[in-house]
Chains A and B, each alone.
Chain A
Amino acid sequence: MSFVLARLGQTVLVLLVAAFVSFSLFRYVGDPVNNMVGQSASLADREAMRTALGLDDAFVVQFTRFVGNALAGDFGISYRFGQPVATLIGERFPATLELALISMLIATGLGVPLGVWTALHRDHWLSQMLLAASLIGVALPTFLIGIALILFFSVWLGWLPSFGRGEVVRLGWWSTGLLSASGLRALVLPSVTLGVFQLALIMRLARAEMLEVMRTDFIRFARARGLRPRAIQYRHALRNTLVPVVTMIGLQFGNVFAFSIIVETVFQWPGLGLLVIQAIQFADVPLLAAYLVLIALCFAVINLAVDLAYVAIDPRVRAGGGVRRAT
């Protein structure tokens, strides 16, 4: 359990650093008062605003207040959109999460089986082809994959939409594109674009891990026990391969979030990524600050979830040994 506690401590540290950077941005970049009341306000108005905002308080007080507000989901008003940042993020979040989930589903669903297959059939020509393809998949920039897919499937063939989410269905505050035909069609190209790199990466990792496990003593001993090849490959080798692969996939989920910025730009996907690019281009400090905290939180949650999953899968960690295989 000390293992989990150490990870928790690290998580809190990361969040505090993110909050600090975010707060510094908020407080010291430009003049918050100027940004809020405009250039025409009188000096008295400005002073009143300063006091109302608590900008004259001590640093620690201000930072604590910032963290408190952040915990309550209050990041102020976006300069560019004139709406509360929390509302903007709440609107955009479902689009990004759905995109990330679907592409990760594609990448994992294909990547793990392909990696295992290529490891078990090393000399098969298809295996060699897949390996070469995965090298290309890792080397291709995501935005080019998106543009190529748009060119083929939208511009030349006219099969699939190239921008937007299509028709969304509202479920409470959540808006989903998974329940309408146009929403699903709109998801195809972006999620494939986002998934290609992860697919190649997961496949290569699964293959490497599987090959490594197949060389271990306990696999040799399993063969000496006369177990059937299928039992050796799937019950023993695959299960042991999955431990590090699951860890990797969990951590990759964070990368998918980051890469969704690119995909959302290419496909004009109305998610968080598009929002943050706009925030950067227009120096929208409150939005950027909120995004920083949010992304740190996302990564913290993912890392924690991966650690817990690890504890659940591997009896060695469960026992408190804290054996952690490096990936």
Chain B
Amino acid sequence: MRSDVLIIGAGGAGLVAALSASEAGAKVRVLTKEYPTRSQTSMAQGGINAALGNAGEDSVEAHIQNTLKSAHGLANEAAVRYLCEEAPKAVEWLESIGVCFSRTKESKIAQRTLGGASAPRACYAQDYTGLKILHTLYDKCLEAGIEILSERYLLNFIVNHDQYEKPYVGGATVLNIQSGEVEVYESASVIVATGGYSRIYDKHSTNSTSSTGDGIAAAIRAGARLSDMEFVQFHPTALKNSSILISESARGAGGYLLNSKGERFTNELAPRDEVARAINDEINKGEEVFLDIRHLGEAFIDAELPQERKLAKLYENVDPLHELIPIKPAAHYTMGGIEVDKNSHSKLKGLFAAGECANHKVHGANRLGGNSLLELVVFGKQAGANAAIYAKKFDKNIDTSQHEVSANNFVKGVKYFTNQIDFYEKRNFIGNIFYNNAGISRDDMGLKAVLGAIRQIQREIPFMGPKDKSKICNTNLVEFIEFGNMVELCEIILVCAISRNESRGAHYRSDIPKENDMAYKAHTITWKEDGVLCADFME
């Protein structure tokens, strides 16, 4: 049955959008390639920003100014204002649906300081903030009776054309992972909430193995525009061997960064791009870098950072109470995404986006810690409400026949790829060359070399393919399609990074280390025309 609003992704943004659209009276269906509660949102540790002033003086204006400063001129001030002004309401709403935030002695929601913030602004629940928010949202969706279908992997958006040849979205084609069958979901509107693309950096990413940019790749194929794809945030403190995240709150609470000589070398609470570069510089000098939280004491660590202690013990065999934690920066959040207007609507009619996959131009060149959970609540809500309004007025036909045929051909055809080249090896290779040449520090030569390698891999894709030819739960096939999406986005990131001949926020060019507002204080917009990638800078 056709839905009014089809949501792809059941992370924080998807579930908030679902609740909001359902409240607006729309018939909502949510699809996820995993199960709800298993998304990237569960990994968010630090907190959600709102200028409540519960732990020290703060103001919405200060939140706005901190966010704009960190964005390095690439944020839309009106969007940032909206985000920060809505923040107290967003947290109040989360509180009202039952999120278990940590508390102050005065029985208020506890707040702590994250990097780049002028006040303790991040509301938290120990270091399980994302987990507790996500699960509470899921519980609310159950109460609202929202249909959530698990293990449905997005293939493509359905695009039809009206009598004036204007395109509009009409649903999505999906691979049912459990059955191996292609399914078609008609819908008057679609919200993309599929998360970011940090897994391009493979083992150099803090993210879930699912952050493969599926929705963003499908959106540009369907005719939407992307923006600022070259901006990838590296989190300063991931565990050295596994790239598992150690929350910024460890530094917010007074943790130090030390090199092999035991010296501090940077302001630990500067914005993430600066700290990541400082660490990268030390590593390039041959130093090892450590996070030191020993002086915070057992009581504090166990109360505020229990997950960090557990993860450090498990993955690095160190107990942060007594030992230094070996760290390195790792790809953590992708600022770029589907370009949307102030209603979360993309360039393709009926296609909305929220969360990490969207670019609402609030993070600009560098996101502040605590603003991503905030973004998914504020814009998830807005996307859900607007998609519901759009769907009410929707009066066009949806024709899925062609899309169904091509999706079936694709899933069958891909299994006949010749398999002479191992895509897992290529995935690993791309992760390494991206981390080293299109990561924390970039230059023209390195980026162009990586682009050459990616174009070669694009040509080789027909010689790859899944080895597993079966239908039921073919994770090898899913991982191959994810790989294809990532390769598609790799080219876009590189073209943007090569075009931006300056350094700005997370995009640091060692060959051109200065910001150039005259030429580049603009968004890098990309789209496809007849399958060919186009790029331009636009206000």
Judge: A and B partners, yes or no: no
